[in-house]
Amino acid sequence: MRALIVKVSALGDVVHTLPVLDYLQQVSPGIEIDWVVEEGNQEVLEGHPLIRKVHLVRTRAWRKAPFSFKTWQETAKVKRELQERRFDISFDLQGNFKSGLITWLSGAQRRYGFDRDGVREPLNLIFTNNQVPLRRQDSHVSARALRVVSVPFGKDYTGMRLSTNIYTSPEDDAAAEAFLSTLADGLVFLFHYGTTWETKLWREEGWIELGKLLQSKFRDSTILFSWGNDGERAAAERIAAAVNGNARILPRMTLKSLCAFLKKIDLVAGGDTGPVHMAAAVGTPTVSFYRATDAKRNGPKGENQLHVQSPLHCHACLRKECDRDRQCRESITADALMQNIERILG
């Protein structure tokens, strides 16, 4: 059987969808799986032993110039590549217009997706011909995807042991090991300040307080700061300078090199953002906080993946701008995060 997964973005959501690979291989041994993903997110999929091919799309660029020759040329190329594979089945695990269109362009006769209550955009429904209703137990992002792929095979995913992994090369692993060898002995923590939504960020003062609490409790520890753009790097530098002690800024890294690094450290702290979900996917403990999103829906799963949810009644609002943003940031405390870190590390 040849199957296509359409889950193009965002990075954290792509990582949350990884368990479907193990599910499909367990229920249909030998199945060939391709995956369509947004350019920029492909590194978390490349090299995965259960993926035959990763197909790249540039939907963000296409939306900006929908009638340009380059857009038409690129979409035609994607359509041709997908239809050449003659997929038996395709799964739209995104639920919006662009993912529905890609699923339809694949040429698969059996196209599975969410029903009216599960899609993000109603136009998605015109592109799938098997629309799966979600159950109460399918509330988590990973569970939503597993529900859709499980229906045609008639085997419920609940109760199954499903693994996730992000492939890294021996060269990536060796580079991470070499960097870690330059650090002092002791636990290694990573703080990831940045995220794409302002309403997912935490206040810098909170990060500083958490850093000082960590260094007081774990005296030989090192705190490293990852970043994705110049603004995030500047914020990380301010926090690291205020924390002082063994606090260092990581160099610019590819997703692969960052992931190799995440595999080897002791704990990652951050918000609802890609690097936190990557760390959880490779088995590294995480402590994460949630303001505009719901930890029960978006948080990493597992006994070493602990969450702090804003106590405000309006939490999980999914708003990218809010006039209560400052109050919401202050509702997340360093003490609450530190308690979870101590709980994981004993």
Measured between alpha carbons, how far is 256 from 69 in angstroms, rounded to an integer? 33
My answer on whether 125 and 176 are in the same domain is no
Same domain as 190, residue 279: yes
279-320 pLDDT, tens per residue? 999 999 999 999 999 999 999 999 999 999 999 999 999 999
Q: What's the pLDDT tens digit per position in 186-212?
A: 999 999 999 989 999 999 999 999 999
Q: Does some domain include residue 286?
A: yes
Rounded-to-integer distance, Cα 113 and Cα 93, Å: 6
Q: Is residue 160 part of a domain?
A: no
Read off the tokens for 205: 């003062």
Instruction: Determine the pLDDT at residue 124.
Output: 97
pLDDT for res 245: 82
Domain boundary among 97, 126, 153: 153
CA distance 103 to 99: 6
My answer on whether 139 and 178 are in the same domain is no
Distance separating alpha carbons of residues 283 and 164, to the nearest angstrom: 9
Cβ-based neighbours of 29, under 8 Å, separated by 6 or more? none
In this structure, the answer to whether residues 180 and 272 fall within a common structural domain is yes
In whole angstroms, what is the distance from residue 177 CA to residue 200 CA?
Answer: 31
Q: Is position 161 within any domain?
A: no
Same domain, 41 and 120: yes
Q: Are residues 233 and 279 in the same domain?
A: yes
Q: Please give the pLDDT value at position 62.
A: 86
> Is residue 11 located within the same domain as residue 112?
yes
Are residue 120 and residue 174 in the same domain, yes or no? no
User: Is residue 162 included in any domain, yes or no?
Assistant: no
Q: Is residue 55 part of a domain?
A: yes
pLDDT of the residue at 184: 85
Residue 7 belongs to some domain of the structure: yes
Predicted local confidence at residue 61, as pLDDT: 85
Give the CATH number, domain containing residue 89.
Answer: 3.40.50.2000
pLDDT of residue 163: 92
**329 and 210 housed in the same domain:** yes
Which of 123, 153, 183 is at the close of a domain?
153
Structure-token pair, residue 16: 């949350």
Whether residue 231 is found in the same domain as residue 180: yes
Contact 4, 99 (CB under 8 A): no
Query: Looking at the domain assignment, is residue 163 inside a domain?
Result: no
Task: Report residues of the chain scoring pLDDT below 50.
Answer: none
Residue 141 near residue 94, CB atoms below 8 Å: no
Say if 59 falls within a structural domain. yes
Distance CA 224, CA 233 (A): 12
- Shared domain for 237 and 285, answered yes or no, is yes
Are residue 104 and residue 192 in the same domain, yes or no?
no
Q: Are strands 89-92 and 2-6 parallel, antiparallel or unpaired?
A: parallel
Question: Which range marks the domain in which residue 64 is found?
Answer: 2-153
Closest CA to 214 of 236, 244, 241, 173: 244
Q: In the prediction, which pLDDT does 182 show? A: 92
Q: How many domains does the chain have?
A: 2
